[in-house]
Homo-oligomer: A and B are copies of this chain.
Amino acid sequence: MEGFTPLRPSAKLADEVTSALAARIASGELMPGDRLPAEKELGVSLGVSRSVVREAISRLKHDGLVETRQGAGAFVAGPQSAKSFRLQPTGADVAPDLAHIFELRCEVEAGAAAFAAERRDAADLVQIEAALTAIQLAMEAGRDGVAEDKALHVAIAAASGNPAFVRFLDFLANQLEEAIRAARLNSLKVAGRPMAVQREHRRVVEAIQAGDSAAARTAMAAHIRAAAQRLGVAR
């Protein structure tokens, strides 16, 4: 018989429509400048109400993928007007490659450490030192210390004096955790060799304390690469 695909109840209709439209744009089926079908028309062709279509288009508009003009219609926007960055684009079905994310993170994290070595002030150094000892205490207490590890990286990024580093690294770290969970890897960042991890941390912090930008960069890059290898996602 078949004949019905009443839409998985778990996935909301607006999500489905958003993905469908985004996929059509990403695939090139809809080119920049093209007009989308009218909301009413999209509704009947997809079998959903106009409200659902409006929510989906509203999301795409917010991401800069489409632009709407009242009375005229909705148009595919050029790639230069994207307002948000996603590691997994909306319409995509494949998960992003963990190794690729790690490489991106490695560059940014190393850069943040280098800037931190140049610009850190007394308050930054206090924060960094405190985070380092917090990891030590967590390890000695038998806990995994992932929260403390995260705090150290945040403190270093903050010492760079560039909030864009802080926000982007936070975003990347969260996406990484999500992807690691999805891949069912051992999520404990410091699992296996907590001593080695802490040694890497100390090298980074010492370089920042010494104001050695180049050393901070290489030490942090080595740390991130080692983390990727511990997870088995290195190149």
Contacts and interface: CB of A to CB of B under 8 A. Distances in A.
A134 interface: no
This chain: copies in complex? 2
A164 B99 CA distance: 10
A interface majority secondary structure: helix
Nearest to A56: B58
Contacts of A96: 164
A45 interface: no
Contacts of A112: 107
A36 B170 CA distance: 24
* Interface range for A: 35 or more
Interface stretch (A82-90, A135-143, A187-195, A203-211): A82-90
Interface in A45-91: 51, 54-55, 58-59, 62-63, 79-87, 89-90
A177 B168 CA distance: 19
A156 interface: no
A79 B174 contact: yes
20 contacts: A18-B62, A59-B59, A59-B62, A62-B90, A63-B84, A79-B174, A80-B177, A82-B171, A82-B174, A84-B84, A85-B86, A85-B171, A89-B167, A97-B163, A97-B164, A100-B164, A100-B165, A104-B108, A104-B111, A107-B108
Given A55-B55, A59-B59, A82-B171, 9 more contacts: A62-B62, A79-B174, A80-B174, A80-B177, A84-B86, A85-B167, A100-B165, A107-B108, A107-B111
